[in-house]
Amino acid sequence: MRAILLVPALFLLAGCGLFGSRDQVEPPAELVTFTPSAEVQRHWSVSVGGDGGRHLILDPWADGERVVASSANGRVVSIDAASGRALWSRNTGAALSSGPGLGSGVVVVGSRDAQVIALDPDSGDELWRTTVSSEVLAQPQAARGIVVVRTSDGKVHGLDAADGSRRWLHERSVPLLTLRGNSNPVIHGDGVLIGFDGGRLAALALNSGELLWELPVAEPSGRTELERMADINGTPVVADGAVHVTAHRGRTLIASLDGRTLWARDIASRAGLAISRDRLFVSADDDSLWGLDRRNGATIWRQEALTRRQLTAPAVTSQFVLVGDSEGWVHVLSREDGNFVARHRIDSSGIAAAPVAVGETVYIISRSGTLAALRMQ
């Protein structure tokens, strides 16, 4: 059972093991036996520092050239994606609580004590730091000279990428009881998509923070605050003129970029989803993994052998779907039928952050800070 963090007027649950007596007493499902039809090659792995036992989701950032990761002890490291060699490492001196985001000439991280710190992406030198309204749990994003920072008190801050000064602020209330963690903002064109506690997806103007539209993905219901908890914690995915999103105790849906629902399924997820060509893959609240048709939401397959393993959001390569679990295993499934094809353990500390797929390489980080580059053969 994970920890509960109590703060004034706000309860943040670190995990979903508290939702019922069944989850409190039953262990994760046994690993199923199968005949591997693929092999996981660990191309490289490095230690970058972990979450310090604070149940953080420290998403790494990656492209084809480098991987940037952060740790709770304040370290930010940039790694050559091909070799695993450190390009630079910087101790920020802050208790970091978010993964790093990169854009507009800055690497940006957030801290437990509401600091936002910008580093030079080529050298790691500190460029600026500023204070926002509360702890930063979501990975900051930057584009077009704006850094977008989501804080745990429901605010979204638009900062100037050059000096960290405030450009705009969007505010909304936070339910009394929420999941520990926040959905990462997504910048697309002139807009920012944000999944909020309470189950609403909102689009803001990047240059002003003005609300453009919002859409309910979950509708809180029930007699107690626990029953009404319905957060968007997974990161929305934008592709092909549509946004793909899912919510805890809510739905999985695709909407147009002006906020119209195109289709929706009653598949709830605290972890999130991934897409690939004509498919959508979602790690559901009950730790089943779904493969859906992106065109209409029809079920293609459902894998139910990973119950109570606290799955991450999936990552997708051309042939495979990968998810991490609370015991540090990476499960590799066929993209076509959802059958298991391989399994690989990062370490025993568990995996909370979603794997990041760049082409055929998947980068994944454990709670203790082992960052690995995996390739399938």
Please provide residue 317's backbone torsions phi and psi, each rounded to the nearest 5 degrees. Answer: -110, -170
Query: Is the model more confident about 62 or about 24?
Result: 62
- Structure confidence by residue, pLDDT tens digits, 320-352: 999 999 999 999 999 999 999 999 999 999 999
pLDDT at position 8 is 38
Alpha carbons 211 and 72: distance in angstroms, whole number:
33
- Structure confidence by residue, pLDDT tens digits, 278-305: 999 999 999 999 999 999 999 999 999 9
pLDDT at position 5 is 38
- The pLDDT confidence band at residue 198, using thresholds 50, 70 and 90, is confident
- Alpha carbon 195 to chain centroid, angstroms: 11
DSSP class per residue in 112-131: TTSEEEEE-TTT--EEEEEE
pLDDT for 217 beyond 50: yes
**Number of independent structural domains in the chain:** 1
pLDDT at position 178 is 63
- Structure confidence by residue, pLDDT tens digits, 240-250: 999 999 999 89
- Structure confidence by residue, pLDDT tens digits, 114-159: 999 999 999 999 999 999 999 999 999 999 999 999 999 999 999 9
pLDDT for 361 beyond 60: yes
Residue 266 belongs to domain spanning: 4-376
CATH number of the domain encompassing residue 331: 2.130.10.10
Alpha carbons 274 and 224: distance in angstroms, whole number:
32
pLDDT at position 182 is 83
Buried b (16+ CB within 10 A) or exposed e, 23-40: beeeeeeeeeeeeeebeb
**Contacts made by residues 44-47, CB under 8 angstroms, sequence distance 24+:** 44/83, 44/84, 44/372, 44/373, 45/84, 45/346, 45/370, 45/371, 45/372, 45/373, 46/77, 46/79, 46/84, 46/86, 46/370, 46/371, 47/369, 47/370, 47/371
- pTM of the full predicted structure? 0.91
Average pLDDT, the chain: 91
Token reading at 89: 């490492």
pLDDT at position 177 is 60
Radius of gyration of the chain (CA): 19
- The pLDDT confidence band at residue 179, using thresholds 50, 70 and 90, is low
- The pLDDT confidence band at residue 229, using thresholds 50, 70 and 90, is confident
> Mean pLDDT over residues 218-243, rounded?
86
Question: Residue 208, Cβ neighbours under 10 Å: how many?
Answer: 14
- Structure confidence by residue, pLDDT tens digits, 86-117: 999 999 999 999 999 999 999 999 999 999 99
Per cent of the chain over pLDDT 70 is 92
Alpha carbons 98 and 151: distance in angstroms, whole number:
10
Per cent of the chain over pLDDT 90 is 83
pLDDT for 13 beyond 70: no
- The pLDDT confidence band at residue 176, using thresholds 50, 70 and 90, is low
Which range among 7-21, 116-130, 173-187, 319-333 shows the weakest confidence by mean pLDDT? Answer: 7-21
Which range among 22-36, 57-71, 84-98 shows the weakest confidence by mean pLDDT? Answer: 22-36
DSSP class per residue in 305-347: TTTTS-PPPPEE-SSEEEEE-TTSEEEEEETTT--EEEEEE--
